[in-house]
Structure 1
Amino acid sequence: VAAAALVLAIGVLFARRLSGSISGLAEAASRIATGDYNLRVPEPRSQDEVRELTQAFNAMAASLKDREERLSQTNLDLERTNEKLQRLNANYMDMLGFISHELKNTLGVIYTSALTLEKGLAGPLSEPQATLVKGISRSIQSAVSMTRNYLDLARIEKAELSTEAKTLEMAEDVIRPVVEEFSPAALERGMVLERDFRGPVWILGDRALLRVVLRNLLSNAIQYGRRGGVIRIGAWQENGIAYLEVWNQGDGLAPDQMERLFEKFLRFHREGEAERKGTGLGLFISREIVRKHGGEIGVRSQQGEWISFLVSLPAQETKDDAVAPSSSR
């Protein structure tokens, strides 16, 4: 009986020691889980499994502390790198905006001079001279367009693209002036410009920026559309939404291409075709402008047949319903 009692007492003492050690490890694990990586559990004097478990636990805690310190340093380095890149990007955008602005003004003067020569306002030109001046005008116009895109990109990236919303009628204020501007280019490629205006469409918008959107869409339709094909510009209003569509016959795009169509600097090049000039910014800029107006722009296509861009904007029921805000950013 005495021996049994002694064995029981030893078992109880061992159980308490083991339970205390395990409880200590459990408590330490909870504190480490809250971020206390400096914590270490005192090792028991006994040379047994509990001591080995404690040593392993402390080694794990030390490893976690080391990893946390390395992660903190890595995050600090990344933050510093990100700040540096943001400063570099801001400087780049400032430079891009300045250069684009200066180039736009200079090219505008040159383009006006070339156009004066082309129209014969400075005197008659021989046929070779007229052909040469026409080519110069076309090249300058392309350069002006690219410069405008870079200038708009700088404004977008710096969050400086503001809108001056006014009451507009889609066909009269946005579509007709742009169509007149691009009619000669369409005629040169034998394209037919069709108009599908279904009554007045009133919106609140920035006239200049919405014309930029249509210029980009119509320019693409002429440049990438089928020579001798049809381009249709439509405008209508339905369920409080104003729609502007530019549809054209042409090669269209594959589904995977349409998913990436509004990315910056993206240009698709078809094998066997000469590479076309451009910045790859037009559709990206157009989408940003449309979103600035609270709208969206989408694309549909039947590859080998046609492609359609559809702009949707909040509509006004009548002209009197439109009360324009001063400016939004």
Structure 2
Amino acid sequence: MSGALLLGAARRPLSLTARLALVFAAFAASLLLVVGLVLGKAVEDHFDELDDHDLSAKLAMIGHLLGQVDSEAAREALPRRLDDALVGHDTVSVELLDAAGQVFYSARAEGFAAQPHQHGADTGWRSADHRLIGREAVFTMPLPQPQAVTARVGLDISHHLHFLEAVRLRLWFGISVAALCAGALGWLAARKGLAPLGRVTATARGLSAQRLGERLSERDAPAEVLALVEAFNGMLDRIEAAFRRLSEFSADLAHELRTPISNLMTETQVALSRSRGADDYREVLASNLEEFERIARMVGDMLFLAQAENGLLPRPAETVELADEARALADFYEALAEEQGVAIAVAGAGRVTGDRLMLRRALSNLLSNALRHAERGSTVEIGIAEAGGRVALAVRNAGDTIPPELLPRLFERFHRGGAARERHGEGAGLGLAITRSIVQAHGGEVEVESAAGLSTFRLLLPAVGNSAAGRPPNPVISPDEAPP
């Protein structure tokens, strides 16, 4: 087991902070290495240039002195003059050879102990602990009988090499220290720059059903992380809103189901309290069937809303004449309207692209809602008008005015618009929510207004040939062409 843990730890990738620190260190080391190599090569070339200049100067000096040897006296004085010229030049070795190759003058000859006999080019060699370079040239002494002299000059460059070696050591040490400092600074900068990510992690770990209101601060987030912080806060907003809707939905659903279930339990308990006849049991079963149908409708409506919220409703596929659907529904509800003493009027026309059965269901919910709340002797008006690339379908009825504070909540699930409107029916409060879901699935919007005893529910749908994604803003419809 310990081996597996070690293997897992070995395979664990480095953190982003560690990676950035390594990148900083590697970049700094590479940059400093290049700079060090360039600097070292420049110093080395400079020393080579100085050494070449020294060798050339010494050979020129020796050649000048040899050129002045035009007598035996001058030849005898040559060693002394060479010694005087080489005073203070402790790193220079000199040998003069006659035509037979015999050395007739030398200064610090130990430097030539291991010198290879290579003529005509610069030569490098070692003598004891010293590193030397040398050059030779042939001169002529202008004696009565001219004599050729081979001059060898050796230059000890050990001090240059020691200096270059010390420079390289210091460069390597400086590069190593600079790389470590760059890595440490990179680690600090990355840790500070990625601190918002740590706060995202801490916030995510602390989230729970009771702590969905926490948000990350956007004030100190760097530009590279600000988009992530905004997206994370937006996600929390959506999660909190969805959780709140789910909680409200669960509470509302439990509340709505409690009534029919309580009715079923009560009627069943009463039926079982004593022996009854077949007709009594049949009546109880019929009553229970009504409650079961109510529950089934509620469950079906909730499944429909769940499909709508998850984008599972059918896609629009056919051209729908809204006027035809409105007249068909007016005929269907005619008997109910006559029973309540209400008339239905349809005016206007408009075509949209969508699912005909779903649009009929949305209009049916509005019409049945209007009939339930319409005053006796009034007329429920269905008006259709097309303007600005959209079709507006409005259902208007006369009745109780809906308070303005309740208008935004009418299309929420299980909302009935207050106690005054709740008395007019036994619906579960899902019809308008279903209507909104259908309209939104078709790329449209729903509106409602209520004033002076008149309530108008309006559906705004893209006309044929206009996509939902590219629909224009709400059209301004003149009073003459606006639906009733």
- TM tier relative to shorter chain: 0.5 to 0.7
- Within the candidate set 294, 298, 308, 2:443 is matched to 294
Aligned to 2:454: 306
Aligned to 1:34: 193
Number of the residue aligned with 1:202: 351
Mapped contact 1:266–1:281 kept (Cα < 8 A)? yes
Deviations 1:210-230 (A, max 9, x none): 011101101110112223322
Within-5 A mapping of 1:121-200? 145-172=297-324, 174-196=325-347, 198=348, 200=349
RCO comparison, higher one (Cα < 8 Å, 6+)? 1
Do the aligned partners of residues 242 and 78 (structure 1) sit closer, same or farther apart at CA in structure 2, a change above 3 Å counting? same
Contact residue 389 and residue 466 of structure 2 kept, 8 A: no
Q: Is the 8 A contact 2:400 2:454 kept in 1?
A: yes
RMSD of the alignment, in Å?
Answer: 4.3
Displacement after TM superposition at 1:270 (Å): 2.4
Q: 1:168 to 1:295 in 2, by over 3 A?
A: same
Structure 2 portions without partners, runs of 5+: 1-185, 213-238, 254-286, 468-484
SS in 2 for 1:294: coil
Letter in 2 for 1:34: G
CA spacing shift, 1:148–1:212, aligned 2, 3 Å = farther
CA contact (8 A) 2:365 2:432 kept: yes
Q: Over residues 135-156 of structure 1, what are the superposed CA-to-partner deviations in whole Å (9 max), with x where a residue is unaligned?
A: 9999888666545422311312
Contact conserved, 1:165 with 1:204, CA < 8 A, in 2?
A: yes
1:216 has 2:353 as partner: no
Q: Does 1:227 align with 2:227?
A: no
- Give the greater-gyration-radius structure (CA): 2
Q: 3-state DSSP class of the match of 1:279?
A: coil
Aligned residues: 217
Aligned residue identity for 2:314: S
In the superposition, the TM-score normalised over structure 2's length comes to 0.38
- With over 3 angstroms needed to count, the CA separation of the structure-2 counterparts of 1:322 and 1:295, relative to structure 1, is closer
Shift of 1:322: 9.4
Counterpart pick for 1:280 among 410, 421, 429: 429
Aligned to 1:244: 393
Q: Distance in 2 between matches of 1:284 and 1:267?
A: 11
Structure 2 CA distance, aligned partners of 1:147 and 1:178?
24
Distance 1:181 1:218 in 2: 11
String of CA shifts for 1:83-132, please: whole Å, max 9, x gaps: 9x99xx8xx99xx9xxxxxxxxxxxxxxxxxxxxxxxxxxxxxxxxxxxx
1:192–1:228: structure 2 CA closer, same or farther, 3 Å change rule? same
Q: Give the corresponding residue for 2:402.
A: 253
CA contact (8 A) 1:167 1:322 kept: no
Distance 2:290 2:209 in 1: 46
The aligned amino acid for 2:435 is S
Distance 1:274 1:79 in 2: 40
Shift of 1:307: 0.3
Residues 314 and 355 in structure 2, CA contact (< 8 A), matched pair in contact too = no
Code of the residue aligned with 2:328 in structure 1: it is P
The Cα offsets for residues 237-266 of structure 1, whole Å up to 9 and x where unpaired, read as: 223221211000011212111122222221
Deviations 1:249-303 (A, max 9, x none): 0112121111222222212332697473222222122112112112111111105
1:183 deviates by: 1.6
In structure 1, distance between residues paired with 2:289 and 2:364: 18
My pick for the range that moved more, 247-256 or 227-236, is: 227-236
Identity rate, percent: 31
